[in-house]
Each structure stands twice: as C-alpha cells, then as structure tokens.
Amino acid sequence: MEQGTGGRARGARLPLHMLDRPRLTEIFDRGHALTVISGPAGGGKSVLLSQWATMQEERAAAAVRLGFDESVTNEHLMLREILTKVIVQDLIADRSTARSALRGFDSVRDPGGELGRLLGDLNRPCVLLIDNAERADERSLLGRALDLLDAAPLLRIVVATRRSTVTRTLQMLASADVCVVGPPHLFFTCDEARAVVERVSGQALPPHPLGEESALPLAARALGLALATHREPVEIAAVEVQGLADALMASLIGPDAPADFQEFLLRTSVPGRVTREIVRRLGWPDGGDEHLDRAELYGLGMWEPADDGLGFVYTPLLREALARRLDQRPLDAVAPIRRTVALWASEHGRHLEALTNAMRARDYVLAVRLGRKSWFILSRSSPREVETLLRRENPLVLARHPLLGMLLALVLLRLGQRLRAFAYFQGAALSLGRRGVDDDPVERFWMLSAKALAERFAGQFRRSGMSADLVVQVFHTMDTEQRAECTGFAALLLSNCGLSFFQLGRISDAIEVLELGMTIQVAHTVMILEDGVGLRMPDDDGGWYHCAATLAGVYALRGRLSDARRVLDEIDGVDPPPAWRSEQFGILEQIAHAVIAIAALDLDEARRRTDSIAHHLGTTELWPYLVCVQSEIEVREGRAAEASLAIAHSLGRGVNSAVSDYGSSRLTVAQAMASLALGDQTAARRTAAGLPGDDPARLAVEAFVALLTGDDARSYAAAEVAQAERDPDLDRLCLAAITSSAAAARLGRREASARAMSRAVAVMREQRSQAPLALFATDVLSEVRELCAPTEQEFLDSYLARASDGCPFPALPPPVRLTSRELAVMRELLRTSSTDALAAALFVSPNTVKVQRRSAYRKLGASNREQALLRAAELGLLEE
C-alpha cells in the first residue's frame, strides 16, 4: 500500500464511517495546551485523533500520532517513541543532541526530564496525539504531559483514553490549560448517526428516527454493516459494547461472507500492525491490498505511518473480537499463525510482541530462541510486561525450559527484585546439574552464565569463579555456527565472567576474558531517517561496551592507567549511547575516569565522575570499588573524617550486598589510609592487621605508617618486601617504592633511595600519574630529590612546582618501644595487679617490678594499670 498525501493509503477511498464534525473541529481549534478525550470503547476516539492529525497536516503543521500497543507498552517506551518521531520529522533544532539522546534512551534515569529538555528546543509548533492511554498508568501519563508542556512552549498534547476522568485527575489538571472531551461530545447526534448508517449500508433509512443505541459510533457502524450484509432493516438493541463488537464481526465474517476475507481478518488480527510483508507471510502473496481497502472502508481500522512504512491498525475493540474468534480454534490451527507473527516481529525489532506470540503458540523452543536473542533489550524496555507474561505460565513450563526462568530472573533484576530473581537463577542452576555435558552448548553457555551470576549475587564468589571457568570453556568448544547463534549476547555473558574473576582478584583471567568479549561486535542495527542519517539503536554492542567498560575499570583499579586510557579511547571511538555510561553497565568506566583524574590531581573531575554513578550505591555489587575511590578523593581533599564515615556507613548492616575478599581488602586499605589521615595510627595498624601478614597491601600500609612515625628502619624493610609482588597494583607499588626511598634517605642509604625512587618514577611516567607523590610532604620529596638522577629530578620538579605545602597525612608521634622485661610486666598485669605476684611470676624482686612498671607507664603515657593496659592493647603490645 503506497503512501499518498496526508499519510493515507494512495488510492483508498475515504472510510465510510468518517464524518466531518465541525463541533469537534472547533474544540481542537481552541488551541488548548492539553486535551483529554475520554470515552468508552467504540466511541470513535481513534477516528477523531486521525482526523485531527490530518487537519494539522493540511495546515502544514506538525502532528505526531502514536499510541500504546504491543510494541509501546509503557510510559518510558512512549517517551522514546515521541522522541523518535519528532526526530524523524526534524522538529528539534539541535538535531545532533536529539539523536544522541535517542540512542540508549531506555537507560535514561529521568526520561521525562530528558525529553522535556529536548522538546523545549522545538523549531515549530507541534501536536502530540496519544491513543489508547488506558493501557498505561493514565494519571502518571497526564502528569508527565503537564511536565512536558511546562518545558516546551510550542507543544500541544492530546490524550485519548477509555477510562472516565475521575475527580482526582481533574484536580491535578485544574491549574493547566486543559480541555476534556467526554462522551457527550463523542457520541453521534441523530443526524450524524443516520448519515453514517446510510453511508456504510448504502441504503436510505426509513423516516422514523434512530434509537439512542446508534449514538455510539461503533453501534452506528455495526447497524450500517448489518443492513449492508443482510439487506434488510435490523434492530440493534442497546447492548454491552463488547457484544456489539462481536455482532459486528459476525456480520462481516458470517457464513455468507467470502471465506478468504474471513480467514484474512482472523489471521491479520494477530500482529499489532498489519503490513504487506506480514500479510504475504500469512498466505496472501499480493499483500492483501483488496482486503485491507475493504477493512478500511468499513471502519475496521486505519492506516498509520510507522518506522518501516505504512501499517494497518485494527480498531482495538474489533481486533479483540477477531482474536476471540481465532482463539476458539484448536491450538494446532492457531499456533502456526502465531509462530509466523513471532518470527516477523522479531526481525522488525518488536521483541515483546515476538516473545508474546511464541508463548501463546506454546512453542517454548522458539520462545527460548527469541528470549536469548533479545533479553538485553527486553530487560531494559519492557521488564514489567515480560514479568507478567512469564509469570502467567504454568511453573512447570519454566522448570522444563529454564532459560525462560533465567529471562524472568534477568528482568526481575532490572526491576530491583534480587531475592525473587535469585530463586529463578537457582532453578536454572539445578536444571543444569541434571543435564549432561553433551547438551546444546549454546544453552549450556547460557545456563552456566546464569549459575555464575546467581552465585555471585549470593556472595558465593569462589563458586561463581568456578562456574565462570566453565562458561569460558564451553565458549571455546563451540563451533562457528554455534558462536554465530550467540553473537547477540555472547559478549554480555563473557563480561559476566570477567566480573566473577575480578571479584576474586583473578585479574589476569578477568582481563583475558574481557578482551575476548571485546572481539565480538554485533553488526549495527540502524534506523534510517528521512534525510538518510542512520541511528544505531540501543541493542548495538551492549556486550562489547560492558566488556570494555569493565576492562577499563579493572585496569584503572590496578594502576595500569595507560591500558585504561587505551580502552577508554576505544569506547569513545565506538561512541556508545550516552545514557549507558552512567547506568549499571557504565559504573566501571566512570570509576576508570575518576582514577585517571586523580592521577592528574584533578579532584573536581574525579568527584564529578563518581557523583554521576553514586546513585547506584546500595544496588550494585561494585559498591566497594566506588566507595574506595570516593574515599581516596575525600582523603586527598583533606576530608578524612568524611572518608572514614562513608566507609563505615557502606559496611553497615543491610546497606550493601555481600563483598568478596578482594573487595574487602581494598576497603580495608582505604579505611586504614583514612585513619592515618586522621592521625590515628593505632586504628590504621589495627585495620591493616585484618589483612594476611604477607599481603603486599598490608606491608605497604605498615611501611607508610612507620615512615610517618619516624620508624625508618621498619618502614624500609616493609616497603622493600611490599615491592616484591609478581603482578603488582601499580599505585600500591609506587606508594611502597616512594616510602622505601624516603626511609632509605633518612637512614643514609643514598643508592637504595635513588634506586627506589627511580623505580617509582618509571612507573608514574609510563602511567602519566603524579597521584602517589601527593601522599607525601614536599620536604620529604625534596630530600629524596637530591639523591636522584637528573631524569628523576626533572619529574619530581614538575610535581613540586605545582604542589602545595599541605599533605593529607600528618606526621605521627614515634612508636612506643618497650623492653622485653617491660613487655613481660605488662602482660602479667593482665592476670594480677599484685606486685609480689608479679615478682614471683617473673622471678625478680618486687623493686625491679616497680621500676619496670613505672618505666612502661611513662612510655605509654598512663598513670594507672587500667590506662596502661588499654593503651598497650591499642598498640598491639599485649599479643603473645
């Protein structure tokens, strides 16, 4: 069906049921900012919207006609559809910004605010006509409409709904420029009803007036069709609207109607939008032009423009009547029709419609295939609708087809329902345990991925890592054809493995699998606009982006900033949707940017990056790493108390999810550094002691504490050992090396000092970072500088020239050192306070005990036994 002027089908006659009604045209011409059309099913709301849209087009004004249907199922999708159509019609002045916002719009946190900001830049007046609003939260939609009108002076909105306008809705609308069009306006007058009946039937009516039942537009249409098909006057009683629709269908596809037309109407009622392509697939090689013209002529629906051309949309009530008739057939007869529609819908990006038809056909194998292909999009665009669809199924279906259970778990995660999601993940994992290794590798790939994800969310990090190993093994065993079947989701599942490895501290394994995921790029899905410009849609390379963002974060958190910058440059080159970069998948990218900003000593930029993802705290498994970076920023800005409080809060009961040993170790280091910045060396030592004794992170912290307290020999020894790590965290390596250099300089070990600083400068120069230097006082660095070679001096001078005299870490009092006899006395004081008992236990005289006790009290700054024992315990001196 070719498109003619006004968006109508070229060559089609004006539908017989359409009347020009000046009284309704006059309402539209009043120019109200918001018009609400409220009337029952069959009240002619869609016809009125179509007429008003045509009026706008005839006046060369902008009109955007849309409605809720199988592909636009919620408010967020409606807002995206509005943005798409205004971009297609080139209604926004800043075209590049609008196109950028459209990509990834499903991930925008405040879609209404973003759309309002863009519509505020309209280049000419525009009317939005929104149909079938009863399928959404009508009150929320009207509230959103008012917000859009406030943001966009050139905008008008018309909303049509079956629901009555209740008092509280009217109260919400009272302060706005609103017009409500109700049933008294929509219903036909006697003359209008007579005109429609005569036009549809082609017969003149007797002179007696029509009854009230013909006032409903659908009833007048049904009366006309009944006269046309039966060729005799037929009385229509005032019946329930749904029954009226059934009667109308019966008159069209009764026993006397052509079988071909009857079958055409029934089959084409399945897709939400009828195009020539789907008509051909359903059995009409000519595209069904004649049948569609006849359906339009008798008011069964209308042609509407869409992204892929014109589509015929049945009147909702009549389509429901057709669907009821179709569902009276045996499932075996209906299933092939629904399978055909499911495959067509999937090819055209109507993923929810595709999954719905596959499920209604009871073709669960097809539903699994479609779910695997489109889960990422469905979980972002229609999570509630998918949840409703799958939860309606018999639980046995989800047990027999665990991938459907996994799909349900993924959308529940998107809805923030982790506990409910975990139950379905567990079910998938149990199903996996009952299957053999010879099962479909693609399904096994999915199932193991579900198991790894579920175990990680349950805090079973080691098990998750083992499952991730199996996922990678299965992927490597798949052949080319099987990998091609996984193209749309393989990278996402590999990124899941990368996170499991990262949480275990298996950094090299994480890097390897994430780099593997980055080799998988999906061919871009494009939507061509009228000016020939292509837009990549939100399903493009979602897995690639998550792998890249995760890899950049892993590199940055390990201090490998040159590698992190390389990956971030690749991300910028691919240009993912802007909204992705601050949502769950973008957390590690923003952490990488923050770490790089800290390396450049740009703390404002680092804070901006962490603030952009701070709203995910409490909902993401990556919270330990975000908290650590936030804490480092606070410490470097001299806000150590805030850093310490933030860490303590994040560790509170029920605040965040479980933390892995690797994440916990990073939090421990951050907490120790915050305590040091507060001048509390006791708390810092106690916190660091929570790490294993040979942990390089613990040794680096202890070396730094010793340096601040002037215990240079101990500092140097610990720092040297801390640098012996095979695959070190480069930031920690630099901290240990500079600490070693400073301690060696104080000890007079000039060559050792220069060697350690040379090692640190080489790393910092390669990573383009000066962050480790900012942890030390300038006088310490100046002292070390004198011992360095010219190349290292040049690097230190570049920092010292811009450094302030302040340092986030104050000098600390020297450590308390007790002699072995004093330590023995303090440990015996835990058991008794009697001088004689102490002397007997230590085999010395009471006077000797008194002398040693007084000396210990003086060193500890205590005046009595209780104070001395408390202070000694804080310093860890009482440990045997």
Q: Are 612 and 577 in contact (CB under 8 A)?
A: no
- How many domains is the chain partitioned into structurally? 4
Residues 67 and 143 reside in one and the same domain: yes
| pLDDT on residue 432 | 62
Q: Looking at the domain assignment, is residue 220 inside a domain?
A: yes
Q: Which two tokens stand for residue 811?
A: 């000098």
- Characterize the bridge pairing of strands 534-536 and 526-528: antiparallel
Kindly calculate the radius of gyration of the chain based on its CA atoms and give it in whole angstroms.
Answer: 36
Q: Looking at the domain assignment, is residue 200 inside a domain?
A: yes
| pLDDT on residue 420 | 83
Residues 133 and 238 reside in one and the same domain: no
Q: Are 225 and 257 in contact (CB under 8 A)?
A: no
* CA gap 723, 735 in Å, rounded: 9
Q: In 3D, which of 266, 253, 238, 232 has the Cα closest to residue 298? A: 253
Domain boundary among 186, 204, 237: 186
* CATH number reported for the structural domain that contains residue 54 in this entry: 3.40.50.300
Query: 665: part of which helix (H) or strand (E)?
Result: helix 661-677
**Running along the chain, 880 residues long, what does each successive block of 10 average in pLDDT?**
39 54 85 90 83 83 88 89 91 89 84 94 94 88 93 94 77 83 86 79 69 71 68 48 58 61 89 92 89 79 74 84 86 94 91 94 92 82 90 87 86 81 77 62 85 86 95 92 80 93 96 93 48 43 88 97 96 86 91 97 96 90 95 94 92 83 94 92 88 92 92 92 88 95 94 95 96 93 93 93 81 75 85 84 86 85 84 72
Residues 180 and 218 reside in one and the same domain: no
Q: Hey, how many other C-beta atoms are within 10 angstroms of the C-beta on 867?
A: 13
Q: Are 424 and 409 in contact (CB under 8 A)?
A: yes
| pLDDT on residue 257 | 57
Residues 151 and 197 reside in one and the same domain: no
Residues 181 and 242 reside in one and the same domain: no
Q: Are 662 and 628 in contact (CB under 8 A)?
A: no
Residues 179 and 195 reside in one and the same domain: no
Q: Which two tokens stand for residue 578?
A: 């802007």
Q: Looking at the domain assignment, is residue 676 inside a domain?
A: no
Q: Are 267 and 337 in contact (CB under 8 A)?
A: yes
Residues 194 and 179 reside in one and the same domain: no
Amino acid found at 618: G
Residues 194 and 320 reside in one and the same domain: yes
Residues 207 and 177 reside in one and the same domain: no
Q: In 3D, which of 272, 266, 260 has the Cα closest to residue 326? A: 266
For 234-251, what is the HEC assignment? Answer: CCCCCCCHHHHHHHHHHH
Q: Looking at the domain assignment, is residue 402 inside a domain?
A: no
Residue ranges with strand state E in 115-165: 126-131, 155-161
Give the list of residues 6+ apart from residue 467 with CB closer than 8 angstroms, or none.
448, 451, 452, 455, 500
Give the list of residues 6+ apart from residue 95 with CB closer than 8 angstroms, or none.
87
Can you state the percent helix, strand and coil of the chain, rounding each to 5? 65, 5, 30
| pLDDT on residue 232 | 52
Burial (CB < 10 A; 0-12, 13-18, 19+), residue 239, is middle
Q: Say whether 158 sits in a helix, a strand or coil.
A: strand
Q: Hey, how many other C-beta atoms are within 10 angstroms of the C-beta on 555?
A: 26
Domain boundary among 186, 217, 251: 186
Residues 171 and 215 reside in one and the same domain: no
* CATH number reported for the structural domain that contains residue 317 in this entry: 1.10.10
Q: Looking at the domain assignment, is residue 756 inside a domain?
A: no
Burial (CB < 10 A; 0-12, 13-18, 19+), residue 323, is middle
Q: Say whether 30 sits in a helix, a strand or coil.
A: coil
Q: In 3D, which of 504, 509, 605, 594 has the Cα closest to residue 549? A: 594
Q: Looking at the domain assignment, is residue 509 inside a domain?
A: no
**What residue numbers bound the domain in which 166 lies?**
31-186
* CA gap 41, 19 in Å, rounded: 18
Q: Are 352 and 386 in contact (CB under 8 A)?
A: yes
DSSP one-letter code for 274:
B
Q: Looking at the domain assignment, is residue 258 inside a domain?
A: yes
| pLDDT on residue 280 | 93
Q: Hey, how many other C-beta atoms are within 10 angstroms of the C-beta on 7?
A: 17
Residues 91 and 123 reside in one and the same domain: yes
Residues 96 and 177 reside in one and the same domain: yes
Q: Hey, how many other C-beta atoms are within 10 angstroms of the C-beta on 71?
A: 21
CA contacts within 13 A on the Cβ side of 278: 32
Q: Are 660 and 628 in contact (CB under 8 A)?
A: no
CA contacts within 13 A on the Cβ side of 719: 29
* CA gap 38, 292 in Å, rounded: 28
Domain boundary among 298, 328, 358: 328
| pLDDT on residue 435 | 60
Q: Are 34 and 181 in contact (CB under 8 A)?
A: no
Q: Looking at the domain assignment, is residue 653 inside a domain?
A: no
